[in-house]
Structure 1
Amino acid sequence: MTTVLDTPRGTDPPPVIQTAAMLWLVAVAFGALETVLVVSEQLYTGASTLAELLPQVAIRLAVFAGAAFLALRLKAGANWARLTLAVTLGVFGTLSLVIGPVQWLLAGGSIAEAVAGADAMGLIFAASRILHVVAVLGAVTLMFQPRANAYFRSA
């Protein structure tokens, strides 16, 4: 039984779409890890209470669930999911991930300084954020490859 959310295709999605969908799920996993790291640090240091953090965590969980849903719809051939992922998470999501570090660098910060002053938690967070951004950029690139475009055109 197909629904409005499914776009039936006669074939399996091409490898570029399968990989793009997987990269979106990887990005969700890294986003979840970053959330756990930030919440843990805030609670451990006493900078925030759980009640203060819950609204932010709820919003992030909703975004993660939405991204996972869209990744699955992408794999199923829903062009609307491809466009939604590209605009919402590919553009605005990426900007939200990189704007802080870019502003810090423009204000005179240096990568060497950041690495030298980082603790284990900071290094894990930075590695996760870098891999998160790479996964998003890779997914967006793959979603618009010629084989992907042909897949979405073949209704």
Structure 2
Amino acid sequence: MSAPSSVRRAAALWIFAVAAGVFETVVAVTGILASGAFPAGAVAVGVGLRLVVFGAAVFMTLRLRAGDNLARLGLAVLLGLFGTLSLVVGPVQDLLAGTFTLPAGPADWLLAVSRAAHLVAVLAAMVLMFRPEANAYFDRRRSAISL
């Protein structure tokens, strides 16, 4: 049984979100290493952690497309909820504290645009994963497995 278009589009958006996250990591690490703000070891640990998250996201996305409801729930909670919070908490805190500023240079603008696209992709994927045809697909897959 083939995944409905809403699930296929959600999977494509999750992959886009991962790609945006990789891009953001490259831009941020390039800036951090150029500034010498953090030791290279600390940067490597951060990059390693992100690579684990990106790998898990791709794995869950592939499982989502195959009809694995647990992957859908994992994506929704781990990346849809907590991932979204990680993208918006900093800017919201800056807004509330009155310290929010617009991006200063080209790298900052690239990062801001990528984060905005990343956030839109995640939110759209969340909606698509729970559309009626997606719910029916996951219900049919669950029923077929339990037989």
Same fold (TM over 0.5): yes
Equivalent-residue separation in structure 2 for 1:133 and 1:105 (angstroms): 18
Q: How does 1:1-155 map to 2 (within 5 A)?
A: 11-109=1-99, 113-115=101-103, 118-154=104-140, 155=144
Bigger fraction of residues in helix: 2
Equivalent-residue separation in structure 2 for 1:128 and 1:21 (angstroms): 18
Residues paired across the two proteins, number: 141
Task: Report how far residue 109 of structure 1 moved.
Answer: 3.8
Task: Report how far residue 49 of structure 1 moved.
Answer: 3.0
Letter of the 1:114 partner, please give it: L
Letter of the 1:122 partner, please give it: D
Q: Match of 1:114, SS?
A: coil
Q: Deviation string for 1:27-54 (max 9, x for gaps)?
A: 0000011111111001111112322211
Equivalent-residue separation in structure 2 for 1:121 and 1:24 (angstroms): 24
Equivalent-residue separation in structure 1 for 2:105 and 2:77 (angstroms): 34
Equivalent-residue separation in structure 2 for 1:78 and 1:46 (angstroms): 43
- Normalising by structure 1, what TM-score? 0.88
Which segments of structure 1 move beyond 3 Å, counting only runs of 4 or more?
none
Equivalent-residue separation in structure 2 for 1:86 and 1:131 (angstroms): 18
Q: Report the equivalent of 1:3.
A: none
Equivalent-residue separation in structure 1 for 2:30 and 2:97 (angstroms): 28
Equivalent-residue separation in structure 2 for 1:48 and 1:100 (angstroms): 19
Structure 2 unaligned residues grouped into runs of 5+: none
Structure 1 unaligned residues grouped into runs of 5+: 1-10
Task: Report how far residue 134 of structure 1 moved.
Answer: 0.5
- Normalising by structure 2, what TM-score? 0.92
